[in-house]
Amino acid sequence: MTLQPIRRALLSVSDKTGLIDLGRALADRGVVLLSTGGTAKALRDAGLDVTDVAEVTGFPEMMDGRVKTLHPMVHGGLLALRDDAGHVKAMEDHGIAPIDLLVVNLYPFEETVSQGGDYADCIENIDIGGPAMIRAAAKNHAFVSTVVDVADYDVLLAELDANDGQTTLAFRQRLAQTAYARTGAYDAAVSTWMAGAIDLATPRRRAFAGELRQELRYGENPHQTASFYADGTGRPGVATAEQHQGKALSYNNINDTDAAFELVAEFDPAEGPAVAIIKHANPCGVARGATLLEAYRKAFDCDRTSAFGGIVALNTALDEETAQAIVEIFTEVVIAPGASDAAKAVFAAKKNLRLLTTDSLPDPKAAQLTYRQVAGGMLVQDKDTGHVPADDLRVVTKVQPTDAQMADLQFAWKVAKHVKSNAIVYVKDGATVGVGAGQMSRLDSALIAAKKSERMAEAMGLDKPLTIGSAVASDAFFPFADGLMEAAAAGATCVIQPGGSMRDNEVIAAADDAGIAMVFTGMRHFRH
C-alpha cells in the first residue's frame, strides 16, 4: 500500500522549535497526539490534548527520564506490519495501537561537546530512547513516517495536504534515509568524542558523518557532481559563515576560501591586521600592515597576476577603504570576521563577488582531525597545528639574524605551513614577496618564487626584485645546498627550515660561506 494515513503520532523532541505549530496542525487534521516529558508539557500548555506515553505503557518515566519509551507498547506500535496477519493479531492480543508518525529530535549531545561539557554531562546527553524509536520507525517506513529534522515539519504538512492526510511511500523512504543518517551522525559524534575523551588516538573503528549544507552545481570540474556537508563542530569558516551577496559558492570556492581563512587565522588580530590572498588553495600574497588596507596592498603586490579571480581572507572586520581596494580587480570571495555596513555597500555593486562573514577566526592551535579518501579507505591524521615558540628556534650559522629578520622568518614559517609542498616562501617587511608551491623539487620552488618576484618588480617599475634582503622559509629541510644557494642568489639574507637532513652540515657550511643566517625549527610542514 503506497498511501498511509496519519492517525496517531508520537512527538518527543529536545529542540522545541516549531513544536507547537506542528502539534496544532496535526491536531487540526484529527491526529491523536502522544508525547513525553517536556514535550507533552509544552503541547499541553499550548492548549492541545496530549496523551502521555506513560499512560500508554502503564509505566512512569523513571531513572531521571532514562527509561520512558523503551517498551513494547511503543515499539510494537512503530514496528508492526499492518499487512501481516500475525502482527495485527499480536497488536490486538496485547492492546497495542499503531503509531503512524514519529517526530523525534535527539538530546543535544553535539552542542554539549562543543560547549565544553565535562565527561559526565556528555554521557548524560547521549540519547538512547530517541535513536531506538527512530531506527524502529524508519525500518517500518512502509507504514510509518519518521521526522527527525525541524526543517521537515512544513514538508510533512504539505505532504498531508497533498494526499488527504496521507503520506506516499516515496516520501516515507526519503524520511527514513534522513532518519538513519541522523542516528548515524549522532553515533559518529559520540564515538569520536569518546575516542578523544579517553585519549584513544587510533580507535579500531571510526565513523564519519555530516549534514548537507549546500548542493553544488558541480565539483572541481563540470562533469563531477558535488555537495558540501557541515561536520557539526562549529569551527569558524565557510560552513558557519553568513553569505551576504553573490551567487552560490562552488566546490573550488569553498576549498580555496577554507584555505585562505585558515591561513589568515595564523596571524593574531591583536598584533595587527593581516590579509591572505589565495588561488587554487595556495597563497599568492600574505601580509601584515599598520592598517587593513596596507596589509591588502602589500599582499596584492606579491603576485598581482595570480590575485585576479582569487580569494581574499582578512583577520579583522572588513572596512570601507579596504573594500574599495579589493573591488579594483575581479575577486571571487572575501571572508572576514565581520564587515562594516559601508564595506557591504561597496561590495553591493559587484554582484558576482561573494562576501562571507563569521563571528570569529578559527583557532589555529585547536585540535582537529583531517580526512582524505584513498582507494578502499581513509587517511586520518591530526590537523597540522604545529607552532614553534621563538625560544625553541635554533640558530645554526655564524651569522645571527637581527630582530627584524627573525620577525620575517617567523612570518614566512607561518605562511609556508599553508603552501603546498615543496614550499619556498620569501618574506620582506611582513609581506610575502615570492611563493613557490607544489613543485617536485625544492630547487624548482625556489626558482619559481624568485622568478615571480622579478616579474612583479618589472610590473611595478622597481629596479630590483623584492626578494633582495628577504627572509626565506622552506617547509622541509634542504636535502642539498643548491636550493639554499638559489635563495641566496635571489637576495635572501636569512633562512628558516626544519633541519634534519643527512647533509645539514653541508647546507650550514654553504650558508656560512654566503654570509646567510639560518634557523632550524625541528618541525616539518609538508602539505600535500
β-strand 310-314 against 331-336: which pairing, if any? Answer: parallel
Residue 166 burial by Cβ neighbours in a 10 Å radius (0-12, 13-18, 19+) = middle
The answer to whether the CB of 54 falls within 8 A of the CB of 68 is yes
Active site residue 139: yes
Buried b (16+ CB within 10 A) or exposed e, 74-107: bbbbbbbeeeeeebeeebeeeebebbbbbbbbbb
Cell of 465: 626584485
Catalytic residue among 87, 139, 383, 387: 139
SS3 12: strand
Cis? peptide before 282, omega within 30° of 0: no
Sheet holding 101-105, edge to edge: 50-52, 32-35, 8-13, 101-105, 145-147
The answer to whether the CB of 126 falls within 8 A of the CB of 190 is yes
Place of cell 599553508: 418
Active site residue 298: no
Q: How far is CA 215 from CA 150, 248, 251, 283, 366, in A?
A: 19, 9, 10, 27, 28
CA distance 99 to 188: 28
CA distance 50 to 255: 48
CA dihedral 359, 360, 362, 365 (to 10 degrees): -140
CA distance 403 to 421: 28
* H/E segment holding residue 189: helix 169-197
CA distance 265 to 315: 6
Catalytic residue among 71, 87, 244, 280: 280
Q: How far is CA 297 from CA 275, 287, 437, in A?
A: 9, 8, 22
Cell of 185: 551522525
**AA letter at 121:** D
Cell of 252: 573550488
The CB density around residue 221, as the number of other CB atoms within 10 Å, is 9
Q: Dihedrals φ, ψ of 43, to 5°?
A: -65, -40
The answer to whether the CB of 443 falls within 8 A of the CB of 487 is no
SS3 332: strand
CA distance 218 to 222: 5
Cell of 119: 565527561
What DSSP designation does 19 have? H
State the catalytic residues.
139, 280
